[in-house]
Amino acid sequence: MTDQEFKKLMEKSPEECMRILFDEYCNYVYVIAAAKLKSCGTTEDIEECVSDVFAEIFKKLDSLGTREGDLKGFIGVVARRKAIDMFRKLSGKADMTVSAGDEVLIQISSSENIIESTEMAERNSILLDKIKELGEPDTTIIIKQYYYNMTVAEIGKLISMTAAAVQKRSIRAREKLKKMLCEVGINY
């Protein structure tokens, strides 16, 4: 949506404008939030951040129509700022204590096991490498389907295939991926 189209739609119907704005920029905002929060937040935290971003944008909707400039850039700035705020809030869960010897100790308030986290990160890295080995369009289909939660119809439009073809390729790619992962000792 260009700035001119946005201004016209804003004058015509603010509610419709909000819906279109959300539909068009939701994935963009989600990627920004996920990139910042993946190390300290859950999926729910990321989704909350996305909601906060759009709440902030919708609060400023009236002033958005009068400004000049790149709408996507403005949304990106709001998304980054909200993600940084959320990151600080989530990272602030570390407790600092001072011992008797004036040494500062950092205690992380978490039930997360470092060994499990490391193993999971390594498994995820191997998984992504194996997905890339599938080749196109299977790599794109799997990544869009499982990393970006896109439907087969959306993926089909994106890569110029029918939804049925995307579904069939997805099934075959998952079977192939399962065999590749079993070969390296990862069973799902």
H-state helical runs in the chain: 3-12, 14-37, 43-59, 61-64, 71-91, 114-133, 138-146, 152-159, 163-183
Number of Cβ atoms within 10 Å of the Cβ of 79: 26
Buried b (16+ CB within 10 A) or exposed e, 130-146: bbeebeebbbbbbbbbe
Identity of residue 51: S
When pLDDT is averaged across residues 104-108 and rounded to a whole number, the result is 43
DSSP, collapsed to helix, strand or coil, labels residue 91 as helix
Q: CA 149 to CA 155: how far, in whole Å?
A: 10
- The predicted-structure confidence for 137-162, as pLDDT tens digits, reads as follows 898 898 888 888 888 899 999 889 99
Tokens at 110, concatenated: 């978490």
All domains in the chain, ordered by first residue: 3-91 (1.10.1740.10), 114-183 (1.10.10.10)
pLDDT above 90 coverage of the chain, percent? 7
Query: In the prediction, which pLDDT does 93 show?
Result: 55
**Please, what sign has the CA dihedral across residues 140, 141, 142, 147?**
positive
In tens, the pLDDT along 19-39 reads 888 888 888 888 888 888 888
> Alpha-carbon distance 165 to 126, whole Å?
27
SS3 108: strand
Identify which of 181, 187, 174 has the alpha carbon closest to the alpha carbon of residue 127: 181
Cα Dmax for the chain:
68
